[in-house]
Structure 1
Amino acid sequence: MRWRSTVFLWLLLILLPFIVSAESWLEVSDDAATIFPRATRMKASSDTLPVTEIYQLDQPIGYLFETDDLTDFPGFSGDSINLRVGLDTEGRIIGLSLLGHHEPIFLHGLGEKPLVDFIDQYGGLSLKQQVLVGSDQQRIASDDIVYFDGVTKATVSVMVVHDTIMAAARKVAQARLTGFGTAVQARFNTNAFQPQTLKQLTDAGLLYHWQLSNEDAASALGVNVSRLEKARDPEQPDSTPFIDLTLVVLNPPLVGKNVLGEVEYQRVMDSLAPSEIAILVGSRGAYHFVADDFVAGTTPARFSLRQQDSPLSLRDADLFHLQHAGFALPLAPFERVNIFTFSDQSGFDPSLPISVGMTVQLVKNHLESEHVFVDSLYSLPDDVLVAVTPPEPPLPLWLRIWKDRLAEIVIVAVYLTLLTGVFMFQHRLARFSRYLTPVRLVSLVFVTAFIGFYAQGQLSVVNIYTLLLSVWNGFDIRVFLLDPILFVLWTYVFISLFLWGRGLFCGWLCPFGAMQELVAVVAEKCRLRQWKVSEVIHQRLIYLKYGVLLVLVGTAFFQLSLAETMAEVEPFKTAVTLMFERTWPFVLYAVLLLLVSARVHKAYCRYLCPLGAGLAVIGRFRLFSWLTRRSECGSPCRLCEKHCGIHAIRKEGHIDYNECVQCLECLAIVSDEHRCVANKYGKNRTSRRAAPIQVEPLNAAASKAESVVVVVSSHKTQG
């Protein structure tokens, strides 16, 4: 039994590191393996940043995160678009996948493939690159600018996707990678040059000299002077400073040409990549910035440069492997000279201080040693810098969209202004009733073609319960500003509801309603007679749309995606937004509704439309009921009722404003003395009053009786 305990104890000791690390190290998930094929393990972030760190053995190779954990850009539906993004250690997006969204145009319109294809374009994108989505301007051949195709009819959604991806990836890069900090405030002045002496350059701070004696170095390192002895170059006398280092930033001609001479300066600059910065480092102290075994072309282990706590990725330019360093100025003779380079894309800002550091190896005993870091700050003088105008903060997404669609907004605003004038002065304009039909036809075509097909300004019941959910969960106006046309229309409709009721929108602004009326006009030209819906059936069917509205709004509070699916009772997306480019069941449904409207005037608007029902509820609080009515309307005259295609005029002659689309046809009839039957009755009354009554009495009694009959008959006609 004792040997079993011993074996168990040994197994426990062997497995202990794995047990301890089990809480942090995780098995590579399928999603991580798809984006990072080289991944062998991963772990959750050790701080509050919600990312998963991906490793190949012990080497970090990237980060995996969800955009919802880092950003909150509301899409067209009011909810964010969530993606899984993989970012490598160079700041490149190497993989993306769509996790969830509620964008109606993709869920119930175009399908998700266009959205997925758009997102896939970001694979391989560097965060240093500028992205132009769907740009029609002349394309510039540049590695710093890339052009991505947008998605027609889904501009808002793809712009939200773009902002979501870039904002989330930059947050991770700024927290985990170097070179993704604040914007650079200055750059090197590569034009200014004038001859300078060594003293002038030194006094101006253009040459950085860092020197530490044994005592200063021991104090900076926090050790005894005796411990530095084994670290010193044994060939150097004791009086030699421990660190004696000179650093020169070569890129500015004012420094580089004066130090190296024009020919050597040009040789160095020609060897650099466009974004590289060259640093000359020379040493003659007792502890050099590179060890004796340093390999040319590699990164130094002892010497480092840092800025804002981020290391600059130094690499030896290997420019002195064939020739010795030569200087135009009498610099001190260096025992070690190297030119290191790094990229300005690492986030280097020449206007900020540079931490010049040395890592010193101190021997403890013959078996072990320790490394101690010491640094000093160096700031470049303004003589070699040019201030960079800080970039203007990017405009909010909604404002960019408004600027891009300014022309559409202006055209719609002009139409709304004219429409307001028609409704405000409808009684004065009634005298021109003969122009109502052509004006109405022009309006219907404009609403269908421009507001509907071109500007995509079809309001929907989805907008209503998006508003209710927004108020319920915390109102955010950005959700509604993302589509300026819908915002302008909704604002106008909301105000008009309290003035004239639902009729202004349903009769003059709804693209699908306009399409139904145009179909009815064509049917009339083809001599297709309208079917008359009986009063009893009509009065029952008009309440159906209110039931549809209640079901949709109630469902939205419990399951938004289901409510969006049920909102397909509206044919707007198929007929207007997608212009019938959809699968056949949706197209068939929309076409059937239009065909029915050829026989039953605006049947969908009257009996099914939940949007019209919602507007009718608010429209009950209207201020004006301006459509003219007369005492003769309904009895004996019923001409307006017979001409009302929407069946909104009751037999008694009054108008049901909850159903009326305010086509103004009844106003045109009442105001036309040639068409209004009430006017004919009035004329008959007038002529009868004016005409003399000639009666040839047979006797006095008969004459009296005849008079009574005439008076009674005249009284009945006036009634």
Structure 2
Amino acid sequence: MRMMLFALFWLCQSLGLMAETLSRSTIEPFIVPPYALGEPVNDKGVWTLLNSGGAEAGYVFETAQMAPLPGFSGAPVNMLVMLDLDGRFIDVRLISHNEPIFVSGLGEAPFRKFLEQYRGHSINTPMVVGTSYGSGAGDGGLVYLDGVVKATASVRIAHESILAATLQVAREKMQGVQSAPPAYPDPDHDEPLDWAALVDQGIARNLRVTNAEVDAAFAGTVWADDDPEASADPEGLFLDLWLVDIGPPAIARAVLPADALAELQDFLSVSGFDEPLLVIDAGRHGLVGPDFVRNTAPDLLAATQDGLPIALRDADLIFSTLPDVPEGVAMILRTDRRLGFDPTRDWQFEAKALRAHGMFQPEIGMVGFSLTHATPERFFARAEVAEPLPPWLEALRNRAADLVVLALALPALLWALGPRMNRLADHRHYGAIRLSVLAFVTGFVGWWGQAQLSIVTPLAVLRTAVEGGSFAYLLYDPVSLLVWAVTLIGFVLWGRGLFCGWLCPFGALQEFAHKLGRLLRLPRLELSARWDTRAKALKYLLLAGLVATVILAPEHIDTAAEIEPFKTAITTFFLRDGIYVAYAGFWLVLGLFTFKGFCRYVCPLGALMALGGLLRGRDWIARRKACGAPCQLCRVKCSYGAIKPTGQIVYSECFQCLDCVTIHNDPTRCVPLILAARGRSLQKAPAA
């Protein structure tokens, strides 16, 4: 029967661990001004909490992900905890639960009222669930949280979940206490031990407190005379407490008989992250109070390590000990090593002495008595410390599949636009081929690969150069870096055309929008040649403004860079505030009527690409003497306005669409070729 319960407990914990973390849209309604939800910091449901000024103010996290303690329904209670940077609770909100008493009995209102009590309390302050019959506490600063009648066990489980999850966040995000991999009992370590050896080696430690010492601790307070039994027997023992960590098998065998040892091993086989602690008291203290509920946190015992509480919980095991072990009230407590507890380093165990002053509404006073404990390292093993890869190498590994695809696709594109350019332009399905490439760039390079190049990167390089610092951050996005590398190659070979015409996801979206406009037979709106030339200068002015912002007001560059709609349309899939979505949508709607208006007139990255095109080493588009004089077909057909009336290509505005190359090579469309063909036929006619 017990093994079935163990299996059920394991299943419940597993289900809790496998639960998915909540999405931003689910969590945000719980966060009220002046706070706002920041960014996720890990995959366990922990988010940063921002204040009204946008600065980090604490953390927000779910309890079910980090402390999935099963309730009476078998499922954990999931609560949202808001914790400030000093470890104080800002708020605790109920997300979901299946506790029967609150589902079909009392309703959720008492549960939610219970959670309101955490506000303002510090994680460093001892807190217990129980009814306080008056004000005042002893020097220990014990905080009582009023329980819920008929639901004491449920709220205590919720309380333990909150503390366990909060401790984990406090250790990992606020203090960074853990400096070594977690220690776990070494099952292969064995040595002959008995109780005397445990005591001699300090593995079993004793805390003895007389009644006189307790009276001295309460001296001068209203509780000084509230324990007649202590006054009557000052030399009697209030505490005769023994503490030993029985997680290591060699130690457990020196304390427990075979049947109890087997039961402990069965328990640990299911709850493998728990460290069991044997506590025995032969004094008056008794370890727990009269209202203690088994399988919950002991109300009169506490522990800390590195200044943070250790979450203790009753293991709910019935057991006996070997004959040479001291007799007394005994219990096995457990604490989760995943929450940062290291049994090999000093930690403090505290037993609390409580006194009540008054009869009907007594004031409760508390003093604590503690001992320091640590178990020798030889009884434990640690996982090998995995040397973390450099961030750039980790990024390479994470994006390996994407990089392989691009490593095949991008050289193929360079080859097709270079040595095979004329064959590509002459292909009877060239139009479909180009649209397919643009679809790949939008879907894979942009939305999937998140490799939409942005003016932000060159500006960041400029800022780093001005202010000093490392350029290593460029390696953290290897997919974008690969696109940048190919773009630089394109500068030398073709100028701006490779990126602006083939590798820009937002540019591809605009081209698709214009194709849709033509299918819908919408009117085409274009500027006159004079205003087109003037409007194309705007992007250079915007680029100059961004460069000036980097130098003069770098704190505003992120806002200024929003002139690009790339983040909205590509990076965030249009999931942003309405003003950004409307701005990006404006350019795409305009694209139905005007061919790639943003790219031609506004894009600061396009302006930089055009300037970078000065690296171009040749005029790569073939021209004939008749081009421009008298033939104007290519100029008229060029949607970018990149061909002068003289027939000369303006490479700073050429997007490498190859439309003019297609016309130039087509004997049925190129006017000089048509005229030449007619001339030859006329010359051959008389001979015929």
Partner of 2:649: 655
1:472 and 2:466 aligned: yes
Equivalent position amino acid for 1:122 in 2: F
Query: Residues 405 and 690 from structure 1, CA distance in 2 versus in 1: closer, same or farther, beyond 3 angstroms?
Result: same
1:491 and 2:453 aligned: no
Larger Rg computed on CA atoms: 1
Partner of 1:519: 513
Equivalent position amino acid for 1:183 in 2: A
1:678 and 2:672 aligned: yes
**1:658 Cα deviation from its structure 2 partner:** 0.2
Alignment of 1:328-367 (within 5 A): 328=322, 343=335, 345=337, 347=340, 349=342
Alignment of 1:565-604 (within 5 A): 565-577=559-571, 589-604=583-598
> Alignment partner for residue 122 of structure 1, among 53, 61, 82?
61
> Alignment partner for residue 252 of structure 2, among 249, 256, 274?
256
Alignment of 1:294-373 (within 5 A): 294=285, 296-297=287-288, 328=322, 343=335, 345=337, 347=340, 349=342
Partner of 1:713: none
In structure 2, what is the Cα distance between the partners aligned to 1:522 and 1:315?
A: 65
- Name the SS of the counterpart of 2:617 in structure 1: coil
**1:391 Cα deviation from its structure 2 partner:** 5.2
**1:190 Cα deviation from its structure 2 partner:** 5.6
Equivalent position amino acid for 2:595 in 1: H
Query: Residues 193 and 143 from structure 1, CA distance in 2 versus in 1: closer, same or farther, beyond 3 angstroms?
Result: farther
1:277 and 2:230 aligned: no
Equivalent position amino acid for 2:179 in 1: T
Q: Which moved more, 1:413-422 or 1:451-460?
A: 451-460
**1:665 Cα deviation from its structure 2 partner:** 1.4
**1:525 Cα deviation from its structure 2 partner:** 4.3
User: What do the CA deviations read for 1:585-622 (whole angstroms, capped 9, x no partner)?
Assistant: 65555555445444443333222222211111111112
Partner of 2:184: 187
In structure 1, what is the Cα distance between the partners aligned to 2:48 and 2:570?
A: 35
Partner of 1:10: none
**1:459 Cα deviation from its structure 2 partner:** 2.9
**1:554 Cα deviation from its structure 2 partner:** 1.8
Taking structure 1 as the reference length, what is the TM-score of the superposition? 0.55
Given that residues 596 and 603 in structure 1 are in contact (C-alpha distance below 8 angstroms), is that contact kept between their aligned partners in structure 2?
Answer: yes
**1:437 Cα deviation from its structure 2 partner:** 1.8
User: What do the CA deviations read for 1:631-668 (whole angstroms, capped 9, x no partner)?
Assistant: 22222333222221111111222211100001111122
Q: Which moved more, 1:532-541 or 1:544-553?
A: 532-541
In structure 2, what is the Cα distance between the partners aligned to 1:209 and 1:564?
A: 59
> Alignment partner for residue 609 of structure 1, among 588, 603, 609?
603
Given that residues 641 and 651 in structure 1 are in contact (C-alpha distance below 8 angstroms), is that contact kept between their aligned partners in structure 2?
Answer: yes
- Name the SS of the counterpart of 1:419 in structure 2: helix
User: What do the CA deviations read for 1:10-49 (whole angstroms, capped 9, x no partner)?
Assistant: xxxxxxxxxxxxxxxxxxxxxxxx99xxxxxxxxxxxxxx
Given that residues 243 and 277 in structure 2 are in contact (C-alpha distance below 8 angstroms), is that contact kept between their aligned partners in structure 1?
Answer: no
**1:328 Cα deviation from its structure 2 partner:** 4.3
Alignment of 1:138-537 (within 5 A): 173=171, 180-184=177-181, 186-189=183-186, 249-263=245-259, 265=261, 275-279=274-278, 294=285, 296-297=287-288, 328=322, 343=335, 345=337, 347=340, 349=342, 380=376, 382=378, 385=379, 387-390=381-384, 392=386, 406-427=400-421, 429=423, 432-477=426-471, 479-481=473-475, 483-526=477-520, 530=524, 533-537=527-531
Query: Residues 261 and 659 from structure 1, CA distance in 2 versus in 1: closer, same or farther, beyond 3 angstroms?
Result: same
- Name the SS of the counterpart of 2:629 in structure 1: coil
Given that residues 82 and 98 in structure 1 are in contact (C-alpha distance below 8 angstroms), is that contact kept between their aligned partners in structure 2?
Answer: no
In structure 1, what is the Cα distance between the partners aligned to 2:579 and 2:496?
A: 30
Query: Residues 266 and 451 from structure 1, CA distance in 2 versus in 1: closer, same or farther, beyond 3 angstroms?
Result: closer
In structure 2, what is the Cα distance between the partners aligned to 1:335 and 1:269?
A: 22
Task: Name structure 1 gaps, 5 residues minimum.
Answer: 1-33, 36-66, 68-80, 85-91, 103-114, 131-140, 149-167, 211-232, 236-243, 283-289, 358-372, 694-719
Given that residues 513 and 589 in structure 2 are in contact (C-alpha distance below 8 angstroms), is that contact kept between their aligned partners in structure 1?
Answer: yes
User: What do the CA deviations read for 1:169-200 (whole angstroms, capped 9, x no partner)?
Assistant: 989737987x9423346422468889x68599
**1:562 Cα deviation from its structure 2 partner:** 4.6
Given that residues 278 and 341 in structure 1 are in contact (C-alpha distance below 8 angstroms), is that contact kept between their aligned partners in structure 2?
Answer: yes
- Name the SS of the counterpart of 1:512 in structure 2: helix
Partner of 2:104: none
> Alignment partner for residue 621 of structure 2, among 612, 622, 627?
627
Task: Name structure 2 gaps, 5 residues minimum.
Answer: 1-29, 32-36, 82-165, 207-233, 290-296, 351-368
In structure 1, what is the Cα distance between the partners aligned to 2:316 and 2:523?
A: 92
Equivalent position amino acid for 2:467 in 1: N
Query: Residues 474 and 234 from structure 1, CA distance in 2 versus in 1: closer, same or farther, beyond 3 angstroms?
Result: same
Given that residues 185 and 390 in structure 1 are in contact (C-alpha distance below 8 angstroms), is that contact kept between their aligned partners in structure 2?
Answer: no
Q: Which moved more, 1:643-652 or 1:508-517?
A: 508-517
In structure 2, what is the Cα distance between the partners aligned to 1:499 and 1:147?
A: 56
Query: Residues 386 and 539 from structure 1, CA distance in 2 versus in 1: closer, same or farther, beyond 3 angstroms?
Result: same
Query: Residues 499 and 125 from structure 1, CA distance in 2 versus in 1: closer, same or farther, beyond 3 angstroms?
Result: farther
In structure 1, what is the Cα distance between the partners aligned to 2:641 and 2:653?
A: 8
In structure 2, what is the Cα distance between the partners aligned to 1:234 and 1:513?
A: 88
Alignment of 1:681-700 (within 5 A): 681-683=675-677
User: What do the CA deviations read for 1:41-76 (whole angstroms, capped 9, x no partner)?
Assistant: xxxxxxxxxxxxxxxxxxxxxxxxxx9xxxxxxxxx
Query: Residues 674 and 254 from structure 1, CA distance in 2 versus in 1: closer, same or farther, beyond 3 angstroms?
Result: same
Equivalent position amino acid for 1:642 in 2: V
Equivalent position amino acid for 1:278 in 2: L
In structure 2, what is the Cα distance between the partners aligned to 1:202 and 1:425?
A: 81
In structure 1, what is the Cα distance between the partners aligned to 2:80 and 2:313?
A: 33
Given that residues 546 and 613 in structure 1 are in contact (C-alpha distance below 8 angstroms), is that contact kept between their aligned partners in structure 2?
Answer: yes
**1:338 Cα deviation from its structure 2 partner:** 6.8
- Name the SS of the counterpart of 2:610 in structure 1: helix
**1:675 Cα deviation from its structure 2 partner:** 2.5
In structure 2, what is the Cα distance between the partners aligned to 1:378 and 1:593?
A: 66
Query: Residues 661 and 96 from structure 1, CA distance in 2 versus in 1: closer, same or farther, beyond 3 angstroms?
Result: closer
Query: Residues 101 and 125 from structure 1, CA distance in 2 versus in 1: closer, same or farther, beyond 3 angstroms?
Result: farther
Given that residues 205 and 373 in structure 2 are in contact (C-alpha distance below 8 angstroms), is that contact kept between their aligned partners in structure 1?
Answer: no
In structure 1, what is the Cα distance between the partners aligned to 2:396 and 2:443?
A: 21
> Alignment partner for residue 97 of structure 1, among 50, 56, 59?
50
Q: Which moved more, 1:422-431 or 1:632-641?
A: 422-431
Query: How many residues of Structure 1 are paired with residues of Structure 2 in the alignment?
Result: 517
Equivalent position amino acid for 2:50 in 1: S
**1:496 Cα deviation from its structure 2 partner:** 2.1
Query: Residues 305 and 417 from structure 1, CA distance in 2 versus in 1: closer, same or farther, beyond 3 angstroms?
Result: same
**1:356 Cα deviation from its structure 2 partner:** 12
- Name the SS of the counterpart of 1:278 in structure 2: strand
Query: Residues 82 and 467 from structure 1, CA distance in 2 versus in 1: closer, same or farther, beyond 3 angstroms?
Result: farther
**1:507 Cα deviation from its structure 2 partner:** 0.9
